[in-house]
Amino acid sequence: MRIIPAIDIIDGKCVRLTKGDYGTKKIYSESPLEIAKTFEASGIEYLHLVDLDGAKAKHIVNYKVLEQIASKTSLKIDFGGGLKTNEDLHIAFNSGARQITGGSIAVKDPETFQGWISKYGAAKIILGADSDKGKVAISGWMEQSKEEVIPFIKSYQKKSIQYVICTDISKDGMLEGPSVELYKQIITECSNSSSGQSIKLIASGGISAIEELPILKALGCEGVIIGKAIYENRISLKQLEKFV
């Protein structure tokens, strides 16, 4: 199971929110690059980079931070937040993203999202299926769509999507443990899907202790995104080094 630390960016700074609420912003570092370098020094290979300004503005904003981290570390970065157009995607990949995550676009403009999968390949495009009481949340989690999470994932499975990030918003930033039942349900139902294409589920939200990681691994999660637990020293980079 891949360990994927998260860096969320507002105004070029490394921040965390609680349940996606911009009013709960807490700044952890003025330099996302320095944070990324400490991850890399601990043997971490992957990074989940979220442009929160972009999510709000509905277009890519913090691509310079992406460019900086991509050019000055060897981290494999998946980048998300406000990617809406072919131009946004072009900028993200040109700035060094290995993968991009599309959430709102996959709900609101499936044709464009499908076009990205066809153009760049399913290995480079991650489906963001963030859960708000079982429904897919969009627009930087400020809106709840009518799409139900599992049928939504299954519909994109049929369109050859491989990677799926699912954050249970009620758990995000709460440090109360991940949404094990939800992930179990997704993995079970999507493994039995008629598409024959099994998904690589990346768990996100609520991770609070190192002991939770083997549970997610046993469930069959392909990766896990860890944010606040690292910044609040609930999980040390030393512990992650051993797990990796």
pLDDT per residue as tens digits for the range 146-191:
899 999 999 999 999 999 999 998 888 888 999 999 999 999 999 8
The verdict on whether 88 is a catalytic residue reads no
Choice among 51, 78, 130, 168 that is catalytic: 130
**For 2-243, CATH number?**
3.20.20.70
Catalytic, 132? Answer no
Reported as a single tens digit per residue, the pLDDT across 108-134 is 999 999 999 999 999 999 999 999 888
Q: For residue 44, is pLDDT > 80?
A: yes
**How many angstroms separate the most distant Cα atoms in the chain?**
47
**In 3D, which of 63, 39, 41, 34 has the Cα closest to residue 50?**
63
| Extents of the domains making up the chain | 2-243
Q: In the predicted model, is pLDDT for residue 195 greater than 80? A: no
Nearest 10 degrees: Cα torsion 87, 88, 89, 90 = 50
User: Rounded mean pLDDT of 59-66?
Assistant: 98
Catalytic residue among 8, 78, 88, 132: 8
**Single-letter residue type at 208:** S
Q: To the nearest 5 percent, what fractions of the chain are helix, strand and coil?
A: 35, 30, 35
